[in-house]
Amino acid sequence: MKFWFVLLLLPLAAFAEEKQLLWGDTHLHTTFSSDAFANNNLLADPDTAYRYARGLPVIHPYHRARVQIETPLDFLVVSDHAEYLGVIRHLYFKGAEGVETGLVDKLKAGFVGWLLRRRVDAGRGSELFVSVLPEAGADPRAAAAEPLGSSMIPPLPTVEADTWRQITDAAERYNDPGNFTAMIGWEWSSIPGGANLHRVVVTDGDARSAQQYQPYGLDDSPYPEDLWRWLSETATATGDDFVAIPHNSNISKGFMFDDQTLRGEPVGAEWAEVRSYWEPVAEITQIKGDSETHPALSPADPFADFETYPYYIQRGTSEYLPKPGDYLRPALLRGLGLEAATGVNPFRLGFIGSTDSHTALPSAEERNFHGKLATDSIPENKNNRWDGGEGPTGWAMSASGLAAVWAESNTREDILSALRRREVYATTGPRIGVQLYAGWNLPVVAVDGADDWRAAAAAGVPMGGVLQAPGQPGLAPQILVQATRDPRGANLDRIQVIKGWIDAAGATHERIYDVAWSGGRSVECGQLPAVGNTVDVASGNWDNSIGEARLAALWQDPDFDPAQTAFYYVRVLEIPTPRHSLLDAIALAQEDAAGQPDTLQERAYTSPVWYSP
């Protein structure tokens, strides 16, 4: 067994070859999303979003204070919901004005506008949002097969087209290739029976190209296959590329990464090939919780119960039942089984994080978190539950996450290319720098070994890649990884390699290896002791007296079987720091924040590397 650690003092940029590490958010909503508007984001538009992301102070849409991001982003996707795009906002401010259809629709528009003004102005807009959600207990497959019911909201295609034009024009104004990238996108919001199957669609196209079409939404189809077909047709018509990014698989009721389609058909090779092409990455972390794994699915993982979010998007509540189709580690394992059966792995997924903020403010910083919804941006409101006192609170939300992209340049084309080849990773908010190569004969990296890293890049594959069988027998895969802490954040606790594989009988397995860690700890009874905790829960203060600023390892799989298909990804953990809910509780001079944990260990997840015999 070859196993050793190498501590490095080399900056990440020195071994990234010609790629640069870019930080961004691919999932942000503004006032043009119906649910954002109903929850008191009446004014924060794409201009607000881009100004905030670039580091400028802006006005918060709810409490009207001046707010500012701590560290600006390199890129941003404004991804408003395609369904009723801008319509709710229009009805609130203008009612039936501009409605070009018949008298009945004009009457509907006037009534809905009146109702919106009454409810939103009284702080009860969320009731309208909840009222249109699926009923708890509805069967997702049956719900998807049913036609959409009639709505009191009239169709306003002119309003939707004008809103899309405003969104895409704003992206063009703020796009500054090489300095800041404003990518064009939207959210397709399929949610049959309360099963979250949402995707964010991102394109490398410009405003002129995007204005040739209207975003594809749930009102077009609830089936992912139909979205992929539309993407294929639109890519051919425009010459642009697209990726669709699943998010919140953790609340999909098992359907996001199922072994059957939403139409109830078995996954076949053609379906798997199409899905793998259009969906190369998935969100593993965001405001509505973490989607890596769950303690019920990974009982041997002591870090599995992280930012768990047990609330479905529906009217009323039902018991949260974690299923393999809900989480990404089980999805990767399921993908190995489907590959063995069909020859194609539909779940060869890279990982990113993003916020899903509905405030137009991409805030993933724990001490500078503005909530998911504008209403939840002040501590006094964060203990208010949605859905008549049965749903989540603002404190149940996670101040997460960020998309980290290794790209040749800061442009739309290169960022989308990095997403497509999966050379990306996720963090839960901090700027934890991570680089990874996998291979068979990787070099030992010296402290000043820039040439060694170039050799590793040439000899191996980066995160997101596929490692082919070695040319000589007796070798086992190696992973060369380095992680550096956020310059403004906490030290690092450990680096872990998570391995999954499928055996000859078709059974899947997972194992976690601690491969580098801080301090003088030793593995005891197969477990590495906790790093410690410096957080003072009375004040929210903490320090970096424990942990390390940089950790690195060259690790070789001690349990490798060359006949078994496998994947490897890296998880990097910080030392404990205060959760945003603790900081709110301290500010409110109360004992706790509705049972939420006082501290958390922020983390990074790299995209996997796959081994194929």
Is-contact 170 45, C-beta < 8 A?
yes
pLDDT at position 462 is: 96
Residue ranges of the chain whose pLDDT lies below 70: 1-17, 149-150, 387-389, 445-453
pLDDT at position 14 is: 41
Per DSSP (E only), the strands in 372-423 are 402-407
pLDDT at position 150 is: 64
Q: Virtual CA dihedral for 38, 375, 313, 606, nearest 10 degrees? A: 120
How far apart are the C-alpha atoms of 104 and 154, rounded to whole Å? 9
pLDDT at position 449 is: 56
How far apart are the C-alpha atoms of 418 and 109, rounded to whole Å? 43
pLDDT at position 385 is: 78
What three-state secondary structure class fits 349? coil
Closest CA to 437 of 570, 537, 325: 570
- The amino acid at 578: P
Closest CA to 432 of 455, 400, 462, 459: 400
- Residue-range domain boundaries for the chain: 3-17+433-612, 20-422
Closest CA to 480 of 552, 401, 395, 373: 552
pLDDT at position 475 is: 92
Q: How far is CA 122 from CA 40, 117, 329, 372, 414, in A?
A: 10, 8, 43, 20, 46
Q: Tokens 């442009």: give the residue.
A: 411
Length of the chain: 613
Chain-centre distance of CA 63, in angstroms? 27
pTM: 0.94
pLDDT at position 6 is: 36
pLDDT at position 10 is: 41
pLDDT at position 502 is: 97
Is-contact 204 243, C-beta < 8 A?
no
